[in-house]
Amino acid sequence: MILHLTINGREQAVDCEPYETLLNLLRRVGFTGAKRVCESGECGACAVLVDGRAVDSCIMLAAQADGSRVTTVEGLGDLRDLSAVQTAFADNGAVQCGFCIPGMIVAATSYLEENPEPTEEQIRHVFVGNLCRCTGYVKPVEAVLTAARRMRSGGNGD
Ligand code: FES
Ligand code: FES
């Protein structure tokens, strides 16, 4: 079947099998920022935005995203133009092995759209769906607080 998706701002027609997951499709067409870890909706490493909402792409069929806007961590910013959340993760030293980080950044980006002035406790709650073995969550939570503060003052941290 042919799906029509807008991936990171670019419209694409992509052939896929009816049983293919969105995670598999995205990685197959080159967006490897979404990580393949548990493949059971437990770890959040595969999170992407579908029409602005964070979803675990390993438990969503690609066909369910037909006609949607899909944004991966690559679509949020790049090395020349990082998003506020990406910049804050770097500035706060919130990245260790990095495997969970795309999912954390996607989840935090989605949440800050809803709540631009989150408390530390609220951010910790956002990350219940993102397993991280390295950081203990302290630095990532600080990074989201930093990003939120900078976004409210109109900057991205540059
Ligand atoms: S790989 Fe999708 S939630 Fe873990
Ligand atoms: S930084 Fe290693 S799993 Fe989170």
What pLDDT was estimated at residue 78?
86
Of the three residues 10, 41, 76, the one that is the final residue of a domain is 76
What pLDDT was estimated at residue 29?
97
What pLDDT was estimated at residue 155?
64
Residue 157 counted as domain residue = no
CA of 138 to the centre of ligand 2 (A): 12
Domain, as residue range, for 14: 2-76
What pLDDT was estimated at residue 157?
47
Do 62 and 108 reside in the same domain of the chain?
no
- Index of the ligand 1 atom closest to the CA of residue 35: 1
Residue 158 counted as domain residue = no
**What's this model's pTM, rounded to 2 decimal places?**
0.94
- Index of the ligand 1 atom closest to the CA of residue 129: 3
What CATH number is attached to the domain comprising 99?
A: 1.10.150.120
Q: How many domains does the chain have?
A: 2
Low-confidence residues of the chain: pLDDT under 50: 157-158
What pLDDT was estimated at residue 156?
57
What pLDDT was estimated at residue 133?
95
Q: How far apart are alpha carbons 151 and 52 in whole angstroms?
A: 18
What pLDDT was estimated at residue 158?
47
Do 65 and 16 reside in the same domain of the chain?
yes
Q: Where are the alpha helices (DSSP H) in the chain?
A: 22-28, 73-76, 84-91, 101-114, 120-126, 138-152
What CATH number is attached to the domain comprising 9?
A: 3.10.20.30
Give CA separation, 77 vs 37, 43, 121, 145, in Å.
23, 23, 26, 19
